[in-house]
Structure 1
Amino acid sequence: MTPALPIVDAHHHLWDLSRGHYPWLQEAYDPEAFFLGDYRAICRDFLATDYRTAAGPCEVVATVHVEAERSRDQQLAETAWLHEVHAQHGFPNAVVAHAWFDRPDSEEQLLAQSRFPLVRGIRSKPVTSASPDHSVKGQAGTMQDEAWLRGFSLLEKYGLRWDLRVPAWHLPEAAEVAALFPKVPIVLNHHGFAWDRSEEGLKRWRGWMETLARQENVHVKLSEFGLRGRPWDLQENARIVYETIAIFGWQRCMFASNFPVAGLRISYPDLVGSVAGMLTHLPGHQQHAMMCANALRFYAIDVTPPL
C-alpha cells in the first residue's frame, strides 16, 4: 500500500531521445557494464508525463533531477531543457547538472551551470576502478588528481553541492575529499552501492560507509537497492536501509527513487511503500525528515506551491 505522506524524490532522471543524445541509451547499449545488467526496457523516452504515471498515487511534492549522462557537449543543453520541463510541468524543482572538474574549461562550465536558477549541484563521476582489487589511485580524473581537485574546489566558489557516485570501495577516498572541502555539501548516491550482500561484503561496505560518514558535510540517499540478476528483496534491502540510517543518522538520509532505472526491479508505488514501511518504527518527525524535509533542506527547494 502506498503511504499517504509527502515525498521529495531526491534523485530521478528524465530524457527525451528526440531532443538530446544519450549514448548509453541510443548507441552504446552494454548490459555487461551496467550495474543492473539488461536495461533495454528503459532505452526509450522517459518524460515528465511518464514520471507522473510511474509515481501514480504517491504524493510527490518536489523532485531533484540528476544528470542523465547526456552527451557531454550537451550538458548545458540538458540543463536548459529541464528548465523548460519545469516551466511546463512544475518539476523538477532542483537540478543536479554535469560539468567535468579536470578540464581547461571547467570553471567556465561550472559558472554557466550555476547561472541556471534550478541548479543546486553537480554530479561529475571521478575515474574509478572496476573492483576493490584494482587501484587507479592518482591517475588523471581520479579523486587524487590535482587538476580534478582544483576543479572540485570551485564548487564552494559557486555555491554548488556535489552528488557523489562511486563504487563502495572508493568511499574512503571520497571521505578524504570531503575532509579537504568541509564547506562543500556532498550527498552519496544510492546508499554507497552495497552490491556484495555476503556477510563479508556487507562488513566491508559498512566500514567504508562509516569512514565517509565521519565527515559531517556528507549526506546519503536511500535509493537504488537493485542488484544484477536478482529480484528486489524487501527484507534484504531493509537491512541496508537500517544500517545506512544507523551510520549517518536520520538527519543526513533522504529518500530517492532513481526512476526510471529502479523501475527495472520495482514499481514506483511499491518502492515508496517499501521504504516508508521500513521507517514506521521511528518517530513521525524522523520519517518525515527522511522522506521529505531533509532533501528540501539539502537542495534548498521551495515547494510553494507543491508539485
Structure 2
Amino acid sequence: MNAETLQRELLPEGYDLRILDAHHHFWNLESEGSWPWIQHEYNPDFFLGDYNAMRHTFLREQYLEATRGWNVVGTVHCEAERARDEEVAEDEFLGSLHDEDPCFPAAVVAHASFLSDDLDEVLAGHAAHPLVRGIRSKPVIASHAAGARAGAVAGRPGSLQDERWAAGLRKLPEHGFSYDLRVPFYHLAEAADVLAGIPGLRVVVNHCGLPLDRSDEGLAVWRDGMRRLAALPDVSVKVSELGLYRNVWNRDSNIAVVRETLETFGFDRAMFASNLPVATLTAPTFDDVMEVMLTGAAGASVTELDQLFHATAARVYRVSLPNPTTES
C-alpha cells in the first residue's frame, strides 16, 4: 500500500498525522568533513548486515524523497559517527542545514567521547550550539548475548560499568543534555542498573532496545531489560529500526515488537523515528515502516497517535512545532 492508502485505512477518519522524526542521519560525502565508516572503511559485522547501499550523501532532498506522501514537520538528527575529532564540527554542518530549512533538522543529538581528556571542552562546544539537545555515546558492548551473560566486557574501559565512562554520563545534566542509549537487547538490564544511579538524567532508548534475536529466549531477555528501563521515570524510547541482521525485514515480528514496546512504555514516553537512511537496508520502503508502526499502534486514540508521532519527541528534545490551526 502507498502512503495515501495507508493513511486512509489505518488512521482515524479526518485525523491529520504530523511526524516529528525523532532519529535519522544526515551526511554529505561530497563536502568537507569525514564519516570514516561510510567513506573509507567497511564493517562486515554491522548490526544489520551489508550497508553498501547507503554509502552515499543523504540530506534533506534524499530524506523528502524517501518519505514522500507523509507529513513530516520536523526531524532530529542523531550523531552519525562523523570522525571523532570533528564532533563539534558536525554541529556546525547541521546548523548550516538548519539555516536552509529550520525543520531539517529541528534539533540534534551530538556525540561526545566520555573517556576523552577534552570531554569538558567538547560538551561546552556542543552547549554553544542551540540545536544540540542531547548526546549519544555508545558504551563498549559484547558482540553477542552469550558474551554479555559471561561478563565479557563488564568493567572494561568504556563499558557500562566503567566508572570513568559513567562520570562522563553524569556531566550531561549540567548542560541540559539528555542521553541517547544505544545498546543491543542483551545489555538493556545492565544499562537500567547504571541509569538508576543517575537520577535526573533524561534517557532515550534507541531503536526499541534493538531486539535482534526474535527467539523466545531472546525476546525474554529483551522484555526484561525494557521493563527495567521503563520503570525509571526519566526514560523514554524511540520506536524505530526494526531491521534484523543480514538485512532482514520481518513484518509480523516487527509489528509485535512495536505493540509490546508501546505497552511497556506508554505512548507518552514513546516517539516514532525513521532511522533513515539506515532503515533502507532492511525495510523495503518508508511506507512499509509506517505500515508496521500504524498496525502495531492499532486502536490508539488521536491523543496517543499525537504523542507517538510528534508530541513526545517535541517535549523530550524541546522542539517547538507550529500549531496546525494557525498555519497559513
1:255-302 Cα distance to aligned partner (Å, 9 max, x none):
000000001222123312331233231211111111111111111101
1:69-108 equivalence runs, <5 A: 69-90=81-102, 91-108=104-121
The amino acid that maps onto 2:234 is: N
Corresponding residue number in structure 2 for 1:116: 129
* Match of residue 143, structure 1, among 160, 165, 172: 160
Match of 1:272 in 2: 290
Report the CA distance shift for 1:147/1:230 in structure 2 as closer, same or farther (over 3 A): closer
Whichever residue aligns with residue 85 of structure 2, its letter is: D
Residue 209 and residue 73 in structure 1: after superposition, are their counterparts in 2 closer, same or farther (change >3 A)? same
- CA distance, structure 2, for counterparts of residue 133 and residue 298 of structure 1: 34
Match of residue 35 from structure 1:
47
Q: Secondary structure at the match of 1:72?
A: coil
Q: What TM-score, normalized to structure 2?
A: 0.90
Which of 6, 17, 39 is residue 26 of structure 1 equivalent to? Answer: 39
Question: Deviations for 1:204-247, whole angstroms, at most 9, x for unmatched residues?
Answer: 21112112211111111100000123542222111001111121
Q: Would the aligned equivalents of 1:232 and 1:265 in 2 still touch at CA under 8 Å?
A: yes
- Residue from 74, 92, 117 that aligns with 1:62: 74
TM-score, normalization by structure 1: 0.96
1:225 aligns with 2:242: yes
CA distance in 2, matches of 1:82, 1:196: 34
Shift of 1:122: 0.3
Matched residue count: 306
The residue aligned with 1:243 is 260
- Displacement of 1:47 in angstroms is 1.4
The separation in 1 between residues aligned to 2:124 and 2:164, in whole angstroms, is 17
Deviation at 1:305, TM superposition (A): 8.0
What are structure 1's unaligned runs of at least 5 residues?
Answer: none
1:261 to 265, 278, 282: 278
Report matched runs for 1:122-137 at 5 Å. 122-134=135-147, 135-137=152-154
8 Å Cα contact 1:102-1:150 kept in structure 2: no
Instruction: Return the match for 1:299 from 317, 321, 326.
Output: 317
Write the distance in 1 (CA, Å) between the matches of 2:262 and 2:29: 37
Percent identity, aligned pairs only, is 43
Question: In structure 2, what is the equivalent of residue 161 of structure 1?
Answer: 178
- For 2:302, the equivalent position in structure 1 comes to 284
Long gaps (5+) in structure 2:
8-15
Matched with 1:17 is 29
Separation of aligned partners in 1, 2:282 and 2:68: 17
The answer to whether the 8 A contact 1:178-1:218 is kept is no
Shift of 1:304: 3.4
Amino acid at match of 1:270: D
Change (3 A) 1:177 1:67: same
Deviation larger for 140-149 or 229-238: 229-238
Matched, 1:8 2:25: no
- 1:77-96 per-residue CA deviation (whole Å, 9 max, x = no partner) reads 11100000011122200000
Distance 2:281 2:270 in 1: 23
